[in-house]
């Protein structure tokens, strides 16, 4: 189905004119389509190649610039999504290894002026799934912002790393850099200002934009950052060659699954280039997940140099780009993971939570499992007779580890440097009135700020994803308008509320005051988000474990203090 018609069907108030529009970029001329959104003309160019297809010998290589073409190139159809398993058919897109395409939405009345700010949206999906074609940013584009959505290589194809020159890794991140480079060189043709680019991401896409803040390869390609529910400081955001299960270990495990055996990286990677892409992706999804990591993710490496050191080390050395930042989390990011526990609607038994804590510590901190378990229980398991309070603590425990504490750490590290541009922190608490999930799940990861940023309550589920089929209230729609206004203000001025928006002035976060916006139907400014819990993850745990433990059998605090095991056992028995 032609995506111009497709957009008209899923967005009921859209009308599509049967009119071609044209733009000439460095590689040739594109023929796009014209649509009308909220009584405003919008030019849409889909499936625009920003790199050569990463196939054949280009598999497991950094991307290269696209070739030119003759005559107008059709830009009315989405390019294929990057290959992934279990792509839902309702997304109505094809998949393939040839997938390095982007989509541009512009309302520029005179593309020769190149004055509109630009937003580049990087999708999430645990670095395993997703596509720029899953998102419709038209509601922002008609507010005089040029919107760009991109694809990048995913899972094994995007993030396999042998830890050496054969396959350094970070291919998906290098794709993102290539897309930003193409946008810098071509976006003026669409009326966008190449010197005023904001990168925005959600979940793994948010971790991606956070990594771009730190990467020397991304410097100068953007001027502002919006990071929603994901930070480079999270353990899951980047792997290290020194991990207990290293990216090289994972790569060789994958290779053995598809009969590419051997100890030499070049031989193994050459073999992998000859394996069918479907077999590689399917095998890649079956590889066990390393402790505290995704199976496939960005990696610390110096050969390409995208991430030459750990994110925390780079930030502590002041190597982050000095740009305005809007960053935040949902109040109850991980509530759905707690909801899978039997009987969770009635609360969580303290002994169940205690066992989960010990499993968590055993997997993530094997050499310190008793010490860390006791510290975790002391911090989060305080009201063990009240099952509802225990459930709330379990939600906080997981949400803090995966999202909130890393985002707070990033914010503190960045704002502690003198002369930094402002950083605006939010905590999203708004819950759609007709959300069918139990009330206690609150604002989970799947109903994040992106829904409101893209105006989904106003235009319906076609604006973001087909998972949300409930009806939206007028309060939801008004909240979405407030979020869109804040977003566009930040994109244009580097300040989400240069004047009062939604009844509030959003004050910057500083390392000394830690001000943040509690974002709800009635938003308010607050200070110092749960400081003891943030300190636990960002200072106490690093102090306990010191340098990363090489293996479960290596020397550790627990091996030197065996009494901790007995104390933990006694403590556990009191919770039965």
* pLDDT at residue number 242: 86
Domain-located, residue 570: yes
Domain-located, residue 472: yes
* pLDDT at residue number 468: 56
Q: Is the pLDDT confidence value at 572 over 60?
A: no
3-state secondary structure of 383: coil
- Give tens-digit pLDDT for 388-447: 999 999 999 999 999 999 999 999 999 999 999 999 999 999 999 888 899 999 999 988
Q: Is the pLDDT confidence value at 526 over 60?
A: yes
Q: Nearest to residue 328, comparing CAs of 519, 80, 496?
A: 519
- Give tens-digit pLDDT for 480-499: 999 999 999 999 999 999 99
Q: Which of 31-40, 233-242, 458-467 has the lowest mean pLDDT?
A: 458-467
3-state secondary structure of 15: strand
Q: Is the pLDDT confidence value at 133 over 70?
A: yes
Catalytic residue (choose from 232, 445, 480, 523) = 445
Per cent of the chain over pLDDT 70 is 88
* pLDDT at residue number 172: 98
Do residues 325 and 278 make contact, with C-beta atoms less than 8 angstroms apart?
no
Domain coverage including residue 334? 326-576
What CA–CA distance (Å, rounded) separates 291 from 365?
Answer: 8
Neighbours of 412 (CB within 10 A): 19
Do residues 198 and 119 make contact, with C-beta atoms less than 8 angstroms apart?
yes
Domain-located, residue 571: yes
In the block, tokens 């240069």 appear at: 498
**pTM, full prediction:** 0.91
* pLDDT at residue number 566: 33
Per cent of the chain over pLDDT 90 is 73
What CA–CA distance (Å, rounded) separates 180 from 50?
Answer: 9
- Give tens-digit pLDDT for 558-569: 544 443 333 333
Measured CA to CA in angstroms, residue 421 lies from 230, 374, 436, 514, 519 at distances of: 20, 39, 40, 15, 22
In the block, tokens 């989060």 appear at: 380
What CA–CA distance (Å, rounded) separates 210 from 231?
Answer: 6
333 counts as catalytic: yes
Tokens linked to 532: 């003891």
Q: Output b/e per residue, 289-314; b: 16+ Cβ within 10 A.
A: ebbbbbbbbbbbbebbebbbbbbbeb
What single DSSP character describes residue 94?
Answer: -
Domain-located, residue 200: no
CATH number, domain of 568, equals 3.40.50.1820
Do residues 35 and 4 make contact, with C-beta atoms less than 8 angstroms apart?
yes
- Give tens-digit pLDDT for 241-250: 888 889 999 9
What CA–CA distance (Å, rounded) separates 128 from 83?
Answer: 9
* pLDDT at residue number 86: 65
Q: Which of 310-319, 381-390, 520-529 has the lowest mean pLDDT?
A: 381-390
Q: Nearest to residue 430, comparing CAs of 497, 518, 500, 507?
A: 518
Q: Is the pLDDT confidence value at 72 over 70?
A: yes
Q: Nearest to residue 340, comparing CAs of 350, 332, 348?
A: 348
Q: Nearest to residue 81, comparing CAs of 125, 133, 140, 155?
A: 133
Catalytic residue (choose from 203, 218, 231, 246) = 203
3-state secondary structure of 21: strand
- CA angle 537/571/533 to nearest 5° reads 20
3-state secondary structure of 221: coil
363 counts as catalytic: no
Domain-located, residue 564: yes
User: pLDDT band at 91, cuts 50/70/90?
Assistant: low
203 counts as catalytic: yes
Domain-located, residue 151: no
What residues pair up with 518 in beta bridges, in sequence order?
427, 524
Please state whether beta strands 116-122 and 192-202 pair in parallel, antiparallel, or not at all (unpaired). Answer: parallel
What CA–CA distance (Å, rounded) separates 194 from 186?
Answer: 8
- Give tens-digit pLDDT for 140-163: 999 999 999 999 999 999 999 999
Q: Is the pLDDT confidence value at 517 over 60?
A: yes
Domain-located, residue 539: yes
Non-local (6+) Cβ contacts of 543 within 8 A are none
What single DSSP character describes residue 168?
Answer: -
User: pLDDT band at 16, cuts 50/70/90?
Assistant: very low
Q: Which of 110-114, 216-220, 304-308 has the lowest mean pLDDT?
A: 110-114
Tally of domains within the chain: 1
Catalytic residue (choose from 43, 244, 333, 412) = 333
* pLDDT at residue number 477: 94
Do residues 180 and 102 make contact, with C-beta atoms less than 8 angstroms apart?
no
User: pLDDT band at 467, cuts 50/70/90?
Assistant: low
User: pLDDT band at 81, cuts 50/70/90?
Assistant: very high
């Amino acid at each position: 189905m032609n995506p111009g018609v497709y957009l008209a069907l899923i967005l009921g108030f859209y009308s599509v004119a049967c009119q071609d529009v044209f733009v000439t970029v460095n590689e040739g001329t594109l023929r796009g389509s014209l649509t009308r959104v909220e009584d405003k003309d919008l030019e849409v160019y889909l499936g625009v190649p920003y790199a050569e297809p990463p196939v054949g010998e280009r598999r497991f290589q950094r991307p290269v610039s696209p070739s030119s073409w003759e005559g107008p190139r059709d830009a009315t159809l989405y390019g294929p999504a990057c290959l992934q398993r279990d792509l839902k058919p309702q997304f109505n897109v094809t998949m393939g290894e040839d997938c390095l395409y982007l989509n541009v939405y512009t309302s520029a009345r005179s593309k020769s002026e190149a004055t509109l700010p630009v937003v580049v949206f990087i999708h999430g999906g645990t670095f395993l799934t997703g596509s720029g074609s899953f998102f419709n940013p038209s509601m922002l584009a008609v507010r005089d912002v040029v919107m760009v959505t991109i694809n990048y290589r995913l899972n094994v194809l995007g993030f396999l790393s042998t830890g050496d020159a054969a396959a350094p890794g970070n291919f998906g991140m290098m794709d993102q850099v290539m897309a930003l480079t193409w946008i810098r060189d071509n976006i003026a043709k669409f009326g966008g200002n190449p010197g005023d680019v904001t990168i925005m991401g959600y979940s793994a896409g948010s971790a991606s934009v956070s990594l771009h803040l730190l990467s020397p390869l991304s410097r100068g390609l953007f001027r502002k950052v919006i990071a929603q529910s994901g930070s480079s400081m999270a353990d899951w955001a980047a792997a290290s060659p020194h991990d207990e299960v290293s990216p090289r270990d994972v790569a060789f495990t994958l290779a053995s699954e598809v009969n590419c055996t051997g100890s030499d990286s070049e031989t193994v990677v050459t073999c992998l280039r000859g394996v069918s892409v479907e077999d590689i992706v399917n095998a890649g999804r079956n590889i066990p997940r390393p402790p505290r990591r995704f199976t496939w993710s960005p990696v610390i490496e110096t050969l390409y140099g995208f991430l030459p050191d750990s994110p925390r080390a780079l930030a502590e050395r002041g190597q982050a780009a000095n740009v305005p930042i809007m960053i935040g989390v949902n109040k109850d990011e991980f509530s759905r993971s707690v909801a899978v526990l039997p009987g969770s609607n009635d609360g969580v038994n303290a002994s169940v939570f205690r066992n989960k804590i010990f499993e968590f510590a055993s997997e993530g901190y094997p050499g310190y499992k008793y010490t860390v378990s006791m510290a975790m229980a002391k911090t989060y398991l305080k009201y063990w007779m009240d099952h509802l309070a225990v459930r709330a603590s379990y939600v906080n425990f997981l949400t803090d580890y995966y999202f909130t504490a890393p985002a707070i750490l990033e914010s503190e590290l960045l704002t502690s440097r003198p002369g930094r541009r402002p950083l605006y922190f939010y905590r999203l608490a708004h819950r759609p009135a007709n959300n069918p999930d139990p009330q206690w799940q609150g604002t989970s990861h799947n109903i994040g700020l992106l829904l409101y940023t893209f105006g989904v309550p106003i235009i319906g589920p076609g604006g973001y994803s087909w998972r949300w089929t409930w009806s939206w209230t007028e309060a939801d729609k008004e909240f979405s308008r407030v979020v869109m206004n804040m977003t566009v203000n930040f994109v244009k001025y580097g300040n989400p509320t240069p004047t009062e928006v939604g009844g509030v002035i959003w004050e910057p976060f500083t390392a000394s005051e830690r001000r943040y916006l509690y974002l709800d139907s009635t938003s308010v400014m607050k200070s110092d988000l749960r400081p003891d819990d943030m300190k636990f993850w960002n200072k106490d745990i690093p102090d306990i474990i010191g340098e990363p433990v090489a293996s479960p059998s290596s020397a550790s605090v627990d091996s030197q203090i065996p009494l901790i095991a007995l104390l933990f056992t006694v403590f556990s028995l009191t919770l039965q």
